[in-house]
Structure 1
Amino acid sequence: MKFSENWLRHHVPTRASRDELAATLTAIGLEVEDVTPLGDSLDGVVVAQIVSAEKHPEADRLQVCQVDTGNGIVQIVCGAPNARAGLKAPLATVGANLPGGIAIKAAKLRGVESAGMLCSAKELGVDPDASGLLELPADAAVGTPLAQYLGLPDASIEIKLTPNRADCFSVRGIAYDVAAALGSEVGSFDATPVTAQSDAVLAVELDAGPRVPRFVGRVIDGVDANVSTPVWMAERLRRSGVRPISFLVDVTQYVMLELGQPMHAFDKDALEGAVVVRPAREGEEIKLLDGRTVALDPEFLVVSDSRGGKAARAVALGGIMGGFDTRVTDVTRNVFLEAAHWVPSAIIGRSRKLGLHTDAGHRFERGVDPELPRIAVEYASRLIVDIAGGVPGPMIEAVHTEHLQPAQPIVLRRARLARVLGLQVADTEVERILRALGLSVETLADGWRVVPPSRRFDLAIEEDLIEEIARIHGYNAIPTTLPAGAARLVSPSETRIDEATARRHLASRDYLEAINYAFVEADLLAKWGLTVDAVPLANPLSAELGVMRTGLLPGLVAALARNAVRQQSRVRLFELGNVFASATPGVGDGAPRETQRIAAVACGDAQAEQWAGASRAVGFHDLKGDLESLAALAGATLEFRTSQPAWAHPGRSADVYRDGVKLGWIGQLHPRLQRALELDVDVIAFELDLEPLFSRAVPKAGALSKFPSVRRDLAFVVPEDVEWGALAQSVKHAAGPSLRDLVLFDRYQGKGVEPGFKSLAMGLILQDESRTLTDRDVDSTVASVTTALQQEYGAAIRG
């Protein structure tokens, strides 16, 4: 919210300096983001009028102007493209010092004397526009100090509002907080009804139920739409970040900024029949003020006119933007002003769905005072009639009172206030603060009965009032005390590896941790084939963050891709985070399922650049080794079984199991997916459920065997499609308890091995805890292994 400092002071008189005012706003929760001083050094700048403008004899782009200063005629050499006879503009006289340290002196430009400088808005520090001279209205009195004429000096203050403070989206709303904090009072506001001078009305029908409980309007005929916006109004708008357009449009913007009620002005002659507020029809289209034509659905509300007693075309998008066809223009003579109360639930998300962001939608999404529409229409009507003339009709109001909930009283207990804040606030101070904020206060024996105004949606319970007292009284006045009591120490469980240990381990293996949004784009999940059970967001931050992620890899690979296109040839990332899936029907409380996972991705060289050996690309077994080392922290032995999900490279991926339970996947991404993601490098990745991977049995000490181990090396020829994992399981089962370890130390295909077969050489390490194994024991174990592999896989001892 941006506003003029002088405008705020008009509503709440205070002697606080600008710095004190800004500090106070921040201290009470209205964080000041920027303060831009305007017109602080304009001594010697006056309103002047160009009497004549002749071409400079020595320069094509310069003009020699005779300028009336109100105290005589001076000659000015000017290069502004809009300098012309009759124009009134600011003149910095000799001796003036402009913002930015510009000192005005008498000068000679291309041989012609110049006694001052005609100024643009940027040179005066009142606006960034430097395209030409600041054009002043024709009724500006020549010789008037410019600061006096424009109401300067001033400052444009921008504050950052939290979503619960919708009442501060107006100058008057902010004034209540400032008055309470600085011990002042908000000035009275003239909302005297405008007397009707005609019977002109438009019938209004509300057909949107509780979503629009109030709609107020007024017809004003015979308006002069070409009247200039008064300087005081235009300057307040400009300093609030709104560029003046035309008077009828500016009035609605001005009232919105001052009171907080968005409004719209229709060209009455472009409307037909009654005004109807209703849900949009499926596929209904409307051309908006910005020229865009958008398609609607019944979630949107519209204002429509009517033909033949039936609601016809939409003429405004409810609570968001007016329609193009019924807008006010320079030829508008008859105006229909409207202000309505749109409940937040009817507006939230609608602007974002259309890619729009409007001041009206921003306010209605957070809540606008339901009592404001009538006041706003009366105020705007008076401004229009006073400035642009016209004949006002009677006030038109359609209201569903049953959908307008009156503010409920809140009891604030004195003892509760002291207990929560930890200090005793004087009763007089409590009452002063509450009344200054515009609340109705009734004193009770043990506290107060408080009724918040209709604009304060955020005040509903006792704690809300306590927060208001603390905020205005000052957080720095609350004493700092240490909490009493003893903290209970909880020792970490030995049955689980903690995340910090996993993070340190992967970092030690040259991975960097990434943290991605839990929201992703639906199209990204579709590329991965991970849209099953995806949970869409009802109110996403943006279209690119519209779905809860069903896996970590889409976001992690996207992060890798961003690094790769920035000349990072070797990238290794990991992430611990949650993934989400829609609830299983009939199971649980209906909330989405949430699973914690760990994932890693790698591309580029297997090792960082070094001199000791030739570089090679990272491969499946590199990442497999990293994963096995991570599992070893929990004492887990992993099993890998061939798999081929949609995103995986055929023959280069596997499902990961532990004790027969599937944990996740490891492998290389499919080339087709890499092309879709615009990746020019091969990516190896894994993603596993965290809980079953990190669980471990309580460590138990065991005796080491005192007897020697025996190793037997065997080489078997097996069909090429037989996996080592399956062979290893058969060997372990056949060898029995004497097998301490099994290692695969060679894989061979070539001369001596038939095509379609491969030779796998393995080492069996045998040991017993109670005795030394004999040759007979070892031969028996080898024979059992050989027989099992022959029967199950047709394996043969390699000759």
Structure 2
Amino acid sequence: MRVPLSWLREYVDLPAGVTGRDVQAKLISAGLEVETVDQLGAGVKGPLVVGRVLTIEELEGFKKPIRFCTVDVGDANGTGEPQEIVCGARNFAVGDLVVVILPGGVLPGDFQIAARKTYGHVSHGMICSARELGMGDDHEGIIVLQPGPEPGSDAIELLELVDEVLDIAVTPDRGYCLSIRGVAREAAIAYGVPLRDPALLDVPAHNGDGYPVTLADPAGCDRFTARTVTGIDPEAASPIWLQRRLQKVGMRPISLTVDVTNYVMIELGQPLHAYDRSRLSGPIVVRRARAGEKLTTLDGAERTLDPEDLVITDDSGPVGLAGVMGGAGTEIADGGSTDVVIEAAHFAPIPIARTSRRHKLGSEASRRFERGTDPLATSAAAQRTVDLLVLLAGGTAGPGVTEIAAPVAPTAITMRADHPDKVAGTAYGRETVVRRLQEIGCDVTGSDELTVTVPSWRPDLNYVNDLAEEVIRLEGYENLPSTLPKPPAGRGLTGNQLLRRRVGRALAGAGYVEAPSYPFVSAGTFDQLGLDADDARRRTVRLANPLDDTEPSLRTTLLPGLLATLRRNVGRGAHDVALFETGLVFLPRAERLLPPRLPVDRRPTAEEIAALEAALPEQPRRVGVVLAGARELAGWWGGAQPASWADAIEAARTVARETGVALTVRAGQYAPFHPGRCAVLLAGEQVVGHAGELHPRVSKAFGVPERTAAMEVDLDLLAAAGGERATGPRVSTFPVATQDVALVVDAAVPAADVEAALRAGAGELLESVRLFDIFTGPQIGEGRKSLAYALRFRAPDRTLTAEEASAARDAAIASAASHTDATLRGA
């Protein structure tokens, strides 16, 4: 919404010396988004005067038409003699009044004017177009003024070239500010001065003699005012002041009747429409469209109407899309409309918004109606339009007045006087609250319990918090005290939040970089992962309104996002990459439930929250990693150590250690991993994840390096298995006793089983077990392997003797022999 400061001053007595920047600051403080203040005419410098064309000589022999003119500019040139000017425009004739800038003047863009020889003549100045003066984009011809001003009079003042225009981004809840009236009200409150409301007009009552109107859909249109004006001079043109005001707000002058309706709309915020009375047949009816009806709108497009569209009709059918755009069949014809019917109606916001979007037809009228207009302003807007047409077009106001209105009770809200204080966390007091609400037009009664009747132009005020917001914004958001919330003692991060932080720090310390990704996937993603057709991960939660139609589902695994990030980084030259992500996956429930509609006036009950959670998909939290390239870079110390499936398993152990869980690792087969290089990760007997090397086809499908390794574990399951928070290692002052054993087992026996047996047999003196060597060869037999372990023994209260350490070692070996058929190598 563009608001000229000169227009604003008509309704608000702003203090002397106040600039557009000052008004901008005040309105921003009151909550309006004033984006810019345009300085119109800032680069214009006179002499810029009115001139009368005396003679025109057509110059021949040039590629384009050129005219040599003499123009009477009065005494503005200091001599009183006609001014000689060369001009290429052809839309003026001898006797016309034009705008002339004389040598020494400056036009916008620092275009300095001087006498110069051109086309064989000396041009002493220039005859100006609207674009050259910064009045608009029209450059088809120069400005031809209406009779009245004398040659030599100041054109800067006549054309109101110097002004300041506020450009306001009006939010959907502040539709009343899409008018000079609404912004003037805000400015009057901000400066504490009275408002001269342009809608306070004496209007005649309904008398039954006006143009007949029927409201067939009172829910869509609850108020309709119709007035007629006859005897309009079809040759009458809009005066300069009217044209300039429309240009300053960004509208193009069209014809006097149309310009007047646009002017009143901008002034009062009430859209209007003028019908050529001679083209109307029968009474006006407001109803819903019928299936198959068509209407050609003013933009020339034929539109097939929807049964939900609200339309204006006569006996011939639809003549306009209500609140959006009129029809071409009843438009005001140039030079031919002498009798007009003025429509000023109040339409419900929702039908207008839906019609505008359905037909992709936005207009200044629909923009206002869909935000809510003042239903009580229709009579004043119609009267203001009639008055201007009588004044400017020589018309006669018809005696008949049509005013149809469905009874609508004003909105009344009950609020405690101290409610804004509680919302803002400061003390305003009852007097301030009542004063601020009265300033915006509310009627306030009561003492501690206030009854607030909302003004008709504020349909956005419906709840007590809406009223509290009005008080707070007018008192100034910048005046609110800055207070930090005081949480109850003993509260802080939850256990799960602390766990996620520990896991993130642990993986970052191990060399991984966190790379969050969007949780959206496509069906083709699961094909790239090589999942079977019946794999549970293919069952997804599909979004009703996805951000990207190619990825309409929520992820069931973290790996696609991590692999896409890996591909992007490798493609940009990063060859050694280790990434991790902690995030939710979304698993659909077997039974689909509709979520309950939660209340907004109170906290939901435990049962309501439980019902809501039951309708949501399961959302376990997972941790995933991917790594490719070198784990250790090459250098003088030796060659590079490539990342492998073992590093992915170690990443899982790193995560598990933060939960206090010792993982058991077994060989397995699980897409998208290589069938021979895949590990199943268990916490006790519970499978919590998988790790390993990606299948070559998966690496190729995702465009990541060969032998890329990955891991994904369920952090919620690990946290549940871990129980209490993991504690730091205990440091003992007693020495450790280390015993190495090499056990020969069948090649199919997992090393994890051998380790578990050693732990079970060694007893409580065992501190740790570490596999440090695997050997296969003819020395130990076909189908056999040797596993070498380092066993560390320590007592918490004494130094172990050699006999105690040996006994624990022998017990461990016996347990391994019993559970895995292991034999001591070399025995």
Q: What is the TM-score with the length of structure 2 in the denominator?
A: 0.71
Cα pair 1:3 1:241 within 8 Å, conserved: no
- 2:208 corresponds to 1:185: no
Distance 1:108 1:229 in 2: 37
What is the rounded CA distance, in whole Å, between the counterparts of 1:118 and 1:515 in structure 2? Answer: 64
- In structure 2, what is the Cα distance between the partners aligned to 1:202 and 1:526? 63
Kindly indicate whether residue 469 of structure 2 is the aligned counterpart of residue 439 of structure 1.
no
Q: Is contact 2:35–2:168 with CA below 8 Å preserved after alignment?
A: yes
Q: What residue in structure 2 maps to residue 275 of structure 1?
A: 285
CA deviations on 1:417-459 (whole Å, 9 max, x unpaired) are 69967566795x77665444333355x6669764331222344
Q: Which residue pairs with 1:710 in the alignment? A: 740
Residues 1:772 and 2:772 aligned together: no
Q: In structure 2, do the counterparts of structure 1 residues 97 and 277 end up closer, same or farther at CA, with 3 Å as the change threshold? A: same
1:199-218 aligned within 5 A: 200-206=211-217, 209=219, 212-217=221-226
Question: Is the Cα contact below 8 Å between 1:82 and 1:132 reproduced in 2?
Answer: no
Residue identity opposite 2:310 in structure 1: V
Q: Secondary structure at the match of 1:710?
A: strand
Aligned to 1:5: 5
- DSSP 3-state at the match of 1:737: helix
Could you tell me which residue of structure 1 aligns to residue 267 of structure 2? 258
Residues 113 and 487 (structure 1), Cα distance of their counterparts in 2 relative to 1, 3 Å cut: farther
Counterpart Cα distance in 1 of 2:687 and 2:254? 65
C-alpha distance in 2, partners of 1:437/1:185?
A: 12
Match of 1:452 among 451, 454, 463: 454
* Residue in structure 2 matching 1:370, options 362, 371, 375: 375
The amino acid of 1:368's aligned partner reads: T
Equivalent residue for 1:497? 498
Flag structure 2 segments of 5+ consecutive residues without an equivalent: 75-80, 529-536, 596-609, 763-767, 795-803
Partner deviation per Cα, 1:269-297 (whole Å, 9 max, x = no partner): 3778763433776x988766656777776
Q: Would the aligned equivalents of 1:607 and 1:615 in 2 still touch at CA under 8 Å?
A: yes
Unpaired segments ≥5 residues, structure 1: 719-723, 789-796
Q: Deviations over 1:596-629 (max 9, x none)?
A: 7467686985679987899999887766655554
The 3 A distance-change label for structure 1 pair 738 and 114 is farther
Query: What do the CA deviations read for 1:235-255 (whole angstroms, capped 9, x no partner)?
Result: 223222333455555444433
Structure 2 equivalent of residue 164 of structure 1: 173
Q: Per-residue CA shift, 1:735-784, capped at 9, x if unaligned?
A: 662486575977999xx999xxx998865566677643588656645545
Q: Residue 20 of structure 1 aligns to a residue in which SS?
A: helix
- Per mean C-alpha deviation after superposition, the further-off stretch among 484-493 and 432-441 is 484-493
Q: Which amino acid aligns with 1:116?
A: G
Q: CA deviation at 1:261?
A: 2.9
Deviation at 1:38, TM superposition (A): 0.5
One-letter amino acid of the counterpart of residue 372, structure 2: G
Spell out the pairing of 1:361-440 with structure 2 (5 A cutoff). 361-384=366-389, 386-387=391-392, 389=395, 394-396=400-402, 399-401=405-407, 404-408=408-412, 410=414, 413=417, 422=426, 427=431, 433-440=436-443
Task: Label 1:619 to 1:57 Cα distance change in 2 as closer, same or farther (>3 A).
Answer: farther
How do 1:627-776 and structure 2 match up within 5 A? 628-636=653-661, 642-644=669-671, 691-692=716-717, 696=722, 697-700=724-727, 706-712=736-742, 727=750, 737-738=760-761, 741=769, 771-772=805-806
Partner of 1:25: 27
Q: Is the 8 A contact 1:657 1:664 kept in 2?
A: yes
Is residue 2:181 matched to residue 1:176? no
Q: Which residue of 1 aligns with 2:36?
A: 34
| C-alpha separation in 2, matches of 1:246 and 1:773 | 109
In 2, Cα distance between the equivalents of 1:608 and 1:502? 22
Alpha-carbon distance in 2 for matches of 1:380, 1:463: 37
Q: CA deviation at 1:179?
A: 0.6
Cα distance in 1 for residues equivalent to 2:671 and 2:400? 74
Contact 1:91/1:116, CA 8 A, preserved across alignment:
yes
Task: Give the corresponding residue for 1:536.
Answer: 544
Q: Which moved more, 1:186-195 or 1:389-398?
A: 389-398
Aligned identity (percent) is: 27
User: Of the candidates 585, 591, 598, which is equivalent to residue 593 of structure 2?
Assistant: 585
Q: 1:710 is aligned with what amino acid?
A: D
Distance in structure 2 (CA, Å) of the matches to 1:400 and 1:451: 19
Q: Is the 8 A contact 2:51 2:98 kept in 1?
A: yes
Deviation at 1:407, TM superposition (A): 2.4
1:505-524 equivalence runs, <5 A: 505=506
TM normalised by structure 1 equals: 0.73
- 1:340-382 Cα offsets, whole Å, 9 max, x none, are 4444455667756766655444444443333334443443444
Q: 2:611 is matched by which residue type in structure 1?
A: D
Q: Secondary structure at the match of 1:455?
A: coil
State the Cα distance separating 1:206 from its structure 2 match: 0.6
1:234 aligns with 243
Tell whether the 8 Å contact from 1:534 to 1:547 is kept in structure 2 after alignment: yes
- Structure 2 counterpart SS, 1:90: strand
Q: 2:116 is matched with which residue?
A: 107
Larger Rg: 2
Which AA in structure 2 matches 1:277?
R
Q: SS at 1:105's partner residue?
A: coil
How far 1:712 moved relative to its partner? 3.0
Q: What does residue 532 of structure 2 align with?
A: none
SS at match of 1:536: coil
1:274–1:305: 8 Å Cα contact kept in structure 2? yes
Give the one of 87, 93, 101 matched to 1:92.
101
1:303 counterpart = 2:311: yes
- Structure 1 position 151, deviation (Å): 2.4
